[in-house]
């Protein structure tokens, strides 16, 4: 089972090859994932076997260059894959999202030695990553983090706490944003990004309980006199971490936006089917105008959200700065997921609230898309700043 049978070279895939990859993913989803989603989600149990299959499919190397053992997919193809996966189970998109953000950071900003050491292991899934930015007292205001890395000879000594970190329990080599110069002014000039392999001084203090996005590990990390070799500093130069992370966020936001489209599309698909079989007052509810209006709005949101994702992914593939495009896609698609999951619940009536249907999961999973990879309030600010920057008078 592998989608890597297709010869890939970044950005150079034919439509037939892309269809072949999406078909393989769809077959896997229907055969190995969909039948088990409710069980894993309701038990809040980690889907080890499914994650192993994701390794075989090459998903952990989706955006890593073939030169380093990855599939080298374009962001456009990647976004389509993320959407189809999220339409079956959004949480799986989180297993490789922050892993790939870190991989992309190494690929873009790492030294050649770092690329050769880390990327093949990330691509195979032997090393599973996640991104450690958020702290108990700093999420949106990342420049306010307190995790400190002090240089001592050829090592850094790290002390601090990170919270809400996806893949932190199952992952083994995480990327962490630290302060190498806490007195720097401006603050971002004192920030660096380190690759932290689990070991002495690096512990997961607790697993966090959540409304949705079940099964996937969200943890709190504690670093106490954690010693990391200095050559794990991405790019080898201190003070670049904030910019490196901001660059990696573009692909992270395209992932979250695609997950939003996946949830919104699944809520629509289930609602179209249900509205044709559920009868009230002697006819299927799809013949009641109130339901027709809902379906029309839901479908329009899906199409608009998908178009924004395509636009952002194209800009990314063209090597353009795309924080505005990715921000718009993430903002609109995540809100579409929230609105469509609630409308699907209304259309399904009492069954929408039942654990026997998927709607209640869409409803619990969707709001995370509005929070993760920068809240939607912050996306609006990014969009607005870029509007002004790109249109000076
Ligand atoms: C399930 C889950 C998984 C996560 N995974 C990860 C992960 O893998 N790695 C990671 O580093 N983090 C992760 N996070 C954390 C997530 O990125 C943060 O929760 C998010 O960035 C918001 O930060 P905060 O929670 O500290 O909210 P705050 O920053 O405290 O914000 C609170 C509110 O104020 C608003 N706000 C803040 N500043 C402004 C402003 N200047 N203007 C307008 N409004 C503002 C925010 O939009 C929000 O509505 C995860 C969170 C969850 C819930």
CATH ID of 2-124, from 3.40.1280.10, 1.10.540.10, 1.20.1740.10, 2.70.150.10 = 1.10.540.10
| Helix, strand or coil, per DSSP, at residue 228 | strand
Where in the chain are the domains?
A: 2-124, 129-239, 243-388
Question: Best substitution site from 212, 375, 381, 383 to test ligand 1's pocket, by max atoms within 8 Å of Cβ?
Answer: 375
- Check residue 14 and give its pLDDT: 86
94 with 213: CB under 8 angstroms? yes
- Check residue 13 and give its pLDDT: 78
Q: How far apart are CA 248 and CA 106, in angstroms?
A: 10
Q: How far apart are CA 110 and CA 177, in angstroms?
A: 15
Q: Is 154 exposed, middle or buried (0-12, 13-18, 19+ CB in 10 A)?
A: exposed
What's the topology of domain 243-388?
Butyryl-CoA Dehydrogenase, subunit A; domain 3 (1.20.140)
- Check residue 11 and give its pLDDT: 52
Q: Whose CA is nearest to atom 24 of ligand 1?
A: 139
Q: Whose CA is nearest to atom 23 of ligand 1?
A: 139
| Helix, strand or coil, per DSSP, at residue 247 | helix
Verify whether ligand 1 is closer than 6 Å to residue 378 (CB atom). yes
Closest ligand 1 atom, residue 141 Cα = 29
Verify whether ligand 1 is closer than 6 Å to residue 134 (CB atom). yes
- Check residue 251 and give its pLDDT: 95
- Check residue 1 and give its pLDDT: 44
- Check residue 296 and give its pLDDT: 98
**Whether domain 129-239 has CATH 2.40.110.10:** yes
DSSP for 149-203 reads EEEETTEEEEEEEEEEEETTTT-SEEEEEEES-TT-SSGGGGEEEEEEES-TTEE
Verify whether ligand 1 is closer than 6 Å to residue 166 (CB atom). yes
Q: How far apart are CA 110 and CA 103, in angstroms?
A: 9
Verify whether ligand 1 is closer than 6 Å to residue 210 (CB atom). yes
Q: Is 222 exposed, middle or buried (0-12, 13-18, 19+ CB in 10 A)?
A: middle
Q: Whose CA is nearest to atom 29 of ligand 1?
A: 140
Verify whether ligand 1 is closer than 6 Å to residue 248 (CB atom). no
Verify whether ligand 1 is closer than 6 Å to residue 72 (CB atom). no
- Check residue 273 and give its pLDDT: 98
Question: Best substitution site from 371, 373, 384 to test ligand 1's pocket, by max atoms within 8 Å of Cβ?
Answer: 371
The residues carrying an active-site annotation are: 373
Torsion of CA 116, 120, 125, 127, to 10 degrees: -20
pLDDT tens for the 393 residues of the chain, in order: 456 454 444 556 788 999 999 999 999 999 999 999 999 999 999 999 999 999 999 999 999 999 999 999 999 999 999 999 999 999 999 999 999 999 999 999 999 999 999 999 999 999 999 999 999 999 999 999 999 999 999 999 999 999 999 999 999 999 999 999 999 999 999 999 999 999 999 999 999 999 999 999 999 999 999 999 999 999 999 999 999 999 889 999 999 999 999 999 999 999 999 999 999 999 999 999 999 999 999 999 999 999 999 999 999 999 999 999 999 999 999 999 999 999 999 999 999 999 999 999 999 999 999 999 999 999 999 999 999 999 999
The alpha carbon of 139 and the centre of ligand 1 are apart by a number of angstroms equal to: 5
The alpha carbon of 274 and the centre of ligand 1 are apart by a number of angstroms equal to: 35
């Amino acid at each position: 089972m592998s989608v890597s049978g297709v010869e890939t070279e970044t950005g150079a895939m034919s439509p037939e090859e892309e269809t072949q990859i999406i078909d393989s993913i769809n077959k896997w989803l229907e055969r190995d994932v969909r039948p088990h989603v409710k069980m894993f989600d309701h038990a809040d149990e980690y889907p080890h076997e499914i994650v192993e299959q994701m390794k075989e499919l090459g998903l952990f190397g989706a955006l890593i260059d073939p030169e380093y053992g990855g599939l080298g997919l374009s962001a456009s193809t990647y976004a389509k894959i993320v959407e189809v996966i999220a339409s079956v189970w959004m949480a799986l998109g989180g297993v490789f999202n922050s892993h790939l953000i870190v991989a992309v950071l190494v690929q873009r900003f790492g030294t050649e030695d770092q690329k050769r050491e880390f990327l093949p292991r990330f691509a195979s899934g032997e090393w599973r990553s996640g991104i450690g930015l958020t702290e108990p007292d700093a999420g949106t205001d990342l420049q306010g983090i307190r995790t400190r890395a002090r240089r001592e000879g050829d090592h850094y000594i790290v002390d601090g706490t990170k919270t809400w970190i996806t893949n932190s329990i199952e992952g083994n080599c995480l990327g962490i944003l630290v302060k190498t110069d806490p007195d720097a002014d401006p603050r971002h000039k004192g920030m660096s990004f380190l690759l932290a392999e689990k070991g002495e001084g690096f512990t997961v203090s607790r697993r966090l309980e959540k409304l949705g996005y079940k099964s996937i590990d969200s943890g709190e990390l504690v670093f106490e006199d954690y010693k990391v070799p200095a050559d794990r500093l991405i790019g080898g130069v201190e003070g670049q971490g904030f910019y490196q992370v901001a660059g990696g966020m573009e692909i992270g936001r395209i992932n979250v936006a695609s997950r939003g489209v996946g949830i919104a599309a699944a809520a629509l698909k289930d609602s179209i089917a249900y509205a044709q079989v559920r009868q009230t007052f002697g006819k299927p509810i799809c013949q009641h105008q109130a339901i027709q209006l809902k379906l029309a709005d839901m479908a329009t949101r899906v199409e608009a959200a998908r178009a924004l994702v395509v636009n952002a992914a194209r800009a990314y593939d063209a090597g353009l700065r795309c924080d505005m495009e990715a921000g718009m896609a993430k903002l609109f698609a995540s809100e579409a997921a929230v609105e469509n999951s609630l409308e699907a619940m209304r259309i399904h009536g009492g069954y929408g609230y039942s654990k026997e249907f998927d709607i209640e999961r869409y409803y619990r999973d969707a709001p995370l898309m509005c929070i993760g990879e920068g809240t939607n309030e912050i996306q609006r600010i990014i969009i607005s700043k870029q509007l002004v920057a790109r249109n000076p008078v």
